Amino acid sequence: MILQLEDKGRSLVARLNGEIDLQVADALRTALDRAMGEKGTRNLVLNLSSVSLIDSSGLGVILGRYRRLLQNGGRVGLVGPGPTVKRVLELSGLLRIMREYASEGEALAGLEPGDGNGGRGDDR
């Protein structure tokens, strides 16, 4: 698995690649938590367009980050899952609590209304 991270204001964009399973879950969790902690991330955008497979171990990582961010009023946006990945997200209920966006830009705009720019801190 290859992970690319990009800081976008109060949001962190994470581009995942390959098969997200038990083999990579621990490393992915650690990398995301480190980046989110360092940057004080409020929202997480997960670009899944290059993910070829995700199973419950991968879902667990996403759900854990969602819960962590939710404590501070943050959210997780999902971008570009392929058909089977999307099916897994639907069946697991993740798409009931996280929104899917067509692009990273839409996700960033949707998660940070106010256009980033320091934000208005209207936490809930």
Partner 1 sequence: MTDSGRLTAAPSATKALNEMTISLLSQPVNLGLARVAVAAFFSQLDLVLSELEEIKVAVSEAVSNAILHGYGRQPDRWIEVSAAVYPDWLEIAVEDRGYGFSGDDQAAGGDGEEEGGMGFALMRSFMDEVVLVSAPGQGTRVVMRKKVRGAVAPGKPIAGNC
Q: Among residues 4, 91, 114, 115, which is the contact residue for partner 1, using CB under 8 A?
A: 91
Q: How far apart are CA 124 and CA 113, in angstroms?
A: 13
Tokens of 58: 């991968």
Contact letters (x/-) for partner 1, 33-72, by CB under 8 A? --------------------xxxxx-xx--x---------
Nearer Cβ to partner 1 (38/53): 53
CA angle at 116 for the pair 37 and 51, rounded to the nearest 5°: 60
Contact letters (x/-) for partner 1, 95-124, by CB under 8 A? ------------------------------
Task: Answer yes or no: are the C-beta atoms of 46 and 17 closer than 8 Å.
Answer: no
Tokens of 43: 């929202």
